[in-house]
Amino acid sequence: MNSEPDFQTYQQRLMRVSAHIHNHLDDDLDFATLAEVACLSPWHWHRIYRGAYGETIAATVRRLRLHRAAGELVNSDTPIEVIASRSGSSGVQAFTRLFRQAYGITPARYRNEGRHKVFDQPVKQWESDMYDVELRSMNARRLAGLPHRGSYMDIDKAFGPAAGLMAAAGAFGPDTEMIGVYYDDPGITDEAALNSFAGLTLPESAEVPEGLESRTVAGGRYAVLTHTGPYAELHKAYHWFYGSWLPAAGQEPADAPPCEIYRNNPRDTPPGELITEICVPLKA
């Protein structure tokens, strides 16, 4: 009997590494410790990780820390010096250099002048066509994925393992879409109690891979706002959409949760070029 680990076993081990990184972003991540978490040889495990995820451990940690920093710049008054320290940088100057490389703007300018600011102000009805919101008829989508509980900014904790299990089952193809479904309003629900679902589309005839759950995104009329930029700014787009566009357009949302379709991959796309379609179901 063959006792060699198969691809799915490797994915399960690397999922443990991914979860450990998310949960210890403020720690110095030791490669030997991560090898133990993965239960893989310290000589080879990082090559396996890079081959599976398309980026090094250092790149993963840097991306997640900058993602968190962008959210803190947009959503809080935390001093930049504190944010820089939490990002693992040696100081504000080093943090500024890394942030500008990723986001194309310094942290201070991003906080004061970033593209998210356009969503802070109510938009007059006659200006609503300045933003890309499209009324679209969408087919139902069958999803396989994993539930996530907690901050919506951390849903990548579920997307990584879900994508790994899909790939292990041979179900991740060129037409697979990554879709996040968001069930709670963060304005009235404690962050720790927010429920979401990290899903990937499945063909109708395909079975749900082992370890994943099945959900369905209903078909029908949707308003789709196309957002280009960091995920940290998405809540601003929601605020503008519900507060300005929806009333001006005379539309009413249906009794179903919104979802987000991610059109490119944050592992190989600069934050400023990330494309997210915010899809809100509408009454017929």
Residue with tokens 């605020």: 239
Given this model, what pLDDT does residue 4 score? 47
Identity of residue 29: L
Tokens of 94: 């080093």
User: Which residues, listed in sequence order, are joined to residue 144 by a DSSP beta bridge?
Assistant: 200, 214
pTM of the model: 0.77
Report the distance separating Cα 12 and Cα 103, nearest Å: 32
According to DSSP, the residues that pair with 224 across neighbouring strands are 134, 279
Q: To which H or E segment does residue 165 belong?
A: helix 156-168
Residues in the chain: 284
User: What burial class does residue 133 get, using C-beta atoms within 10 Å of its C-beta: 0-12 exposed, 13-18 middle, 19+ buried?
Assistant: buried
Distance in angstroms (rounded) separating the CA atoms of residues 67 and 80 = 14
Which pLDDT score, from 0 to 100, does residue 131 have? 64
213 contacts 147 by C-beta, under 8 angstroms: yes
Within 13 A of 219's CA, how many CA atoms are on the CB side?
6
CB within 8 Å of 20: residues ≥ 6 apart: 34, 37
Q: What is the rounded (10 degree) CA torsion for 260, 268, 18, 229?
A: -40
Chain centroid, CA 102 distance in Å: 16
Q: Which residue ranges form the domains of the chain, and what is each CATH number?
A: 7-112 (1.10.10.60), 130-281 (3.20.80.10)
CB 276 within 8 A of CB 260: yes
Mean pLDDT per 10-residue interval, the chain, length 284 residues: 53 80 84 81 75 80 91 91 89 92 90 74 50 91 96 91 87 92 91 96 89 95 95 89 86 94 92 95 90
Cβ neighbors of 113 (< 8 A, separation 6 or more) are 105
Q: Report phi then psi at 180, rounded to 5.
A: -100, 130
Number of neighbours of residue 155 by Cβ within 10 angstroms: 22
